[in-house]
């Protein structure tokens, strides 16, 4: 068996089932009938979603049941309440929920219903317009069908056709000019038209200002069950998807806050800085509604056909900002084979990464596991093969050191390894946010992350070397001679800030491995039931995923067990390693401080390191450790 599981005696289940009463479930703290199983009984929502409709399957059925559907003589307050309720439904749809249980719960928005009141019609037309524009936007700027956006599946055909927004605007403005008390209704409806225009022209249009939001909400002319027959009978949603009006307003304001922050995005000029930005945005906005995620994605990749990235006209232009630093010229992109384009392949990778990270975390992590790690591994091989073909056109300098020449002549490999380190680091950190790691996994995950940080530091060291090489070349003028490695070493100077930062992270993660050893050795950490936990299979399944990138070597399980299994190490050795790694981390932090650099996250690591190390001395029988993870970095708190 693979992963977290191992073979068990199936008699366990037969014994349990024979002792259970009718309709009784096996339960513990992590397993119950509501969240882990659904009873399949005739007449339940899961078997027959039609039953709860109670005979309301058409608009005529709705009217025949005596439900309120004011129209020609509708009051302005009733229009306000309908506008508020349809706002709630639209926000629920912007969360990616299907139209049948959100906007199409409104009778008025249906094509087959002819609205008589002109103001109500203009209000409904503004909603119908934005819903359809959003659907077009989602189809254009994300994979479709999406993991987080339900396909419209013909539901748009049930809505009123899109009216000319200029005509709708004029109708609304005429009402406002005749009766200023309608300004709240009119202004919000016009905002919907303006926001629709923004979505269609976001590269040139500013985000429209938000007027006063609908203050009232009431289900006048709404039916929650009208389209139950169109829902899949296998798994109709059990939870209410339309939030309260207050909650809908809260979500809308959050959405607009995200959209307005787009103009403040930092300057991004490298692939790794783009990936880091996407990760930071995703982890900062874990609860973001779905639509603004796609709006952010559209700003980063405005035109898929033209392969635009951010403000740059093409992916090639964006990539050359970074590659020219390694003296790779545009001829590199001229070596496409008959079936594959270098620019297209790299753009596809960046786009897939963007889609993964701007989806909800669990969906993004799944895509990385199943597709993107392997894709990047294969893409690197293609890029390296292309580099071999194009290297003779690059005019790389020569030095008297073969190891240095290898770095100078393989800039694409060096560039790819840095991207790999960034990718794996993000992937492993997302695993914590998804909650997929067992506490017993922590040591192996910390070690994988430490390996990545070492590789990152090595990449920045090579960057420093390449900068020294080309600095020496620039002073040679037109003379062509072999560079002296000793001269390059002098020019390299001291370690860069980035090198030291990644060394600090690597050392702190190794320190954390030994802290985990101490906590496990002293039985001071609460563990979930691990009766079926298979450490070797779990380690190998975790490693198998990150091995797909192919350019960073991770430790094998046998060596890991030999070095870190608590049964193979004694307590004095563990304490000694904790002290050593703590001192190494503090020394590196001092080196960084001496450069005048002391960011808050470094201060936080120093505090964690000192307090955790001190807790080992303070530990007594009966004490417990609480291990918390923030941005992939552990913290050990001793609870006495």
Please report, for residues 141, 290, 359, 460, the alpha-carbon distance to residue 285 in angstroms, rounded to integers and kept in the order given. 19, 11, 11, 30
Task: Taking residues 475-492, report their average pLDDT.
Answer: 83
pLDDT more than 70, % of the chain = 89
What's the start-to-end Cα distance of the chain, in Å?
39
Please report, for residues 45, 104, 238, 526, the alpha-carbon distance to residue 243 in angstroms, rounded to integers and kept in the order given. 20, 15, 14, 37
Residue 238 above 70 pLDDT? Answer: no
Task: Taking residues 630-640, report their average pLDDT.
Answer: 94
What pLDDT was estimated at residue 23? Answer: 45
Closest residue by Cα to residue 319 from 337, 336, 342: 342
Residue 369 in contact with residue 434, Cβ under 8 Å?
A: no
Strand, coil or helix: 416? helix
Closest residue by Cα to residue 94 from 260, 293, 278, 247: 293
Spatial CB neighbours of 209, under 8 Å, sequence gap ≥ 6: 191
Task: Taking residues 281-301, report their average pLDDT.
Answer: 95
Residue 129 in contact with residue 162, Cβ under 8 Å?
A: yes
Q: Output 40 or 510, whichever has higher pLDDT.
A: 510
Domain residue spans of the chain: 53-232
Q: 613-619: list long-range contacts, CB under 8 Å, 24+ apart.
A: 613/511, 613/578, 613/579, 613/582, 616/515, 616/518, 616/575, 616/578, 619/518, 619/522, 619/524
pLDDT tens by residue, 23-82: 454 544 444 434 444 444 443 444 445 555 666 778 888 888 888 899 999 999 999 999
What pLDDT was estimated at residue 46? Answer: 41
| H or E stretch covering 629 | strand 624-630
């Amino acid at each position: 068996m693979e992963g977290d599981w191992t073979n068990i005696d199936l008699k366990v289940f037969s014994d349990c089932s024979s002792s259970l009463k009718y309709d009784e479930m096996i339960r513990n703290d992590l397993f119950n009938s509501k969240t882990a199983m659904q009873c399949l009984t005739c007449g339940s929502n899961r078997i027959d979603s039609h039953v709860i409709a109670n005979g309301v399957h058409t608009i005529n059925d709705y009217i025949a049941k005596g439900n309120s559907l004011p129209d020609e003589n509708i009051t302005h307050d009733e229009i306000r309440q309908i506008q508020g309720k349809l706002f709630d439904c639209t926000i629920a749809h912007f969360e990616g929920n299907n139209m049948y249980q959100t906007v199409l719960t409104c009778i008025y928005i249906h094509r087959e219903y002819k609205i008589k009141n002109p103001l109500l019609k203009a209000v409904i037309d503004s909603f119908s317009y934005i819903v359809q524009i959003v659907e077009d936007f989602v189809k254009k700027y994300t994979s479709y069908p999406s993991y987080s956006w339900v396909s419209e599946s013909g539901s748009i055909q049930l809505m009123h056709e899109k009216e000319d927004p200029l005509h709708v605007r004029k109708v609304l403005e005429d009402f406002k000019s005749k009766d200023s008390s309608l300004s709240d209704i009119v202004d919000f409806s016009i905002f919907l038209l303006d926001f629709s225009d923004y979505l269609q022209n976001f590269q040139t249009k500013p985000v429209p200002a938000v007027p006063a939001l609908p203050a009232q909400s009431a289900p006048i002319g709404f039916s929650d069950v009208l389209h139950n027959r169109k829902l899949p009978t296998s798994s109709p949603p059990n939870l209410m998807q339309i939030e309260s009006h207050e909650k809908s307003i809260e979500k809308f304001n959050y959405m607009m806050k995200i959209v307005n922050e787009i103009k403040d995005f930092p300057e991004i000029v490298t692939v790794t800085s783009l990936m880091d930005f996407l990760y930071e945005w995703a982890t900062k906005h874990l609860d973001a509604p779905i639509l603004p995620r796609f709006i952010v994605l559209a700003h980063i990749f405005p035109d898929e056909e033209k392969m635009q990235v951010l403000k740059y006209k093409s992916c090639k232009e964006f990539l050359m900002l970074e590659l020219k630093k390694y003296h790779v010229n545009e001829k590199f992109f001229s070596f496409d084979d008959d079936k594959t384009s270098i620019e297209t392949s790299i753009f596809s990778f960046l786009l897939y990464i963007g889609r993964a990270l701007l989806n909800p975390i669990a969906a993004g992590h799944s895509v990385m596991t199943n597709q993107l790690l392997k894709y990047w591994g294969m893409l690197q091989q293609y890029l390296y093969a292309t580099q071999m073909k194009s290297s003779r056109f690059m005019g790389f300098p020569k030095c008297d050191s073969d190891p240095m020449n290898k770095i100078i002549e393989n800039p694409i490999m060096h560039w790819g390894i840095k991207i790999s380190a960034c990718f794996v680091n993000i992937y492993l950190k997302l695993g914590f946010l998804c909650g997929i790691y067992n506490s017993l996994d922590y040591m192996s995950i910390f070690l994988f992350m430490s390996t990545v940080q070492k590789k990152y530091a090595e990449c920045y060291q090579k960057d420093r070397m390449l900068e020294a090489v080309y600095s020496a070349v620039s002073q040679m003028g037109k003379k062509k001679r072999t560079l002296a490695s000793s001269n390059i070493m002098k020019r390299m100077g001291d370690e860069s800030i980035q090198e030291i930062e990644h060394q600090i992270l690597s050392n702190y993660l190794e320190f954390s491995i030994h802290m985990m050893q101490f906590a496990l050795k002293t039985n001071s950490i609460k563990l979930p039931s691990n009766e079926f936990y298979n450490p070797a299979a779990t380690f190998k399944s975790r490693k198998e995923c990150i091995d797909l990138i192919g350019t960073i070597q991770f430790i094998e399980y046998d060596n890991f067990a030999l070095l870190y299994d608590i049964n193979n190490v004694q307590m004095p050795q563990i304490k000694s390693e904790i002290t050593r790694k703590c001192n190494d981390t503090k020394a590196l932090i001092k080196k960084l401080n001496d450069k005048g650099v002391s960011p808050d996250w470094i201060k936080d690591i120093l505090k964690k390191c000192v307090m955790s190390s001190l807790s080992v001395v303070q530990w007594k029988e009966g004490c417990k450790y609480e291990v918390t993870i923030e941005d992939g970095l552990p913290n050990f708190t001793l609870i006495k």
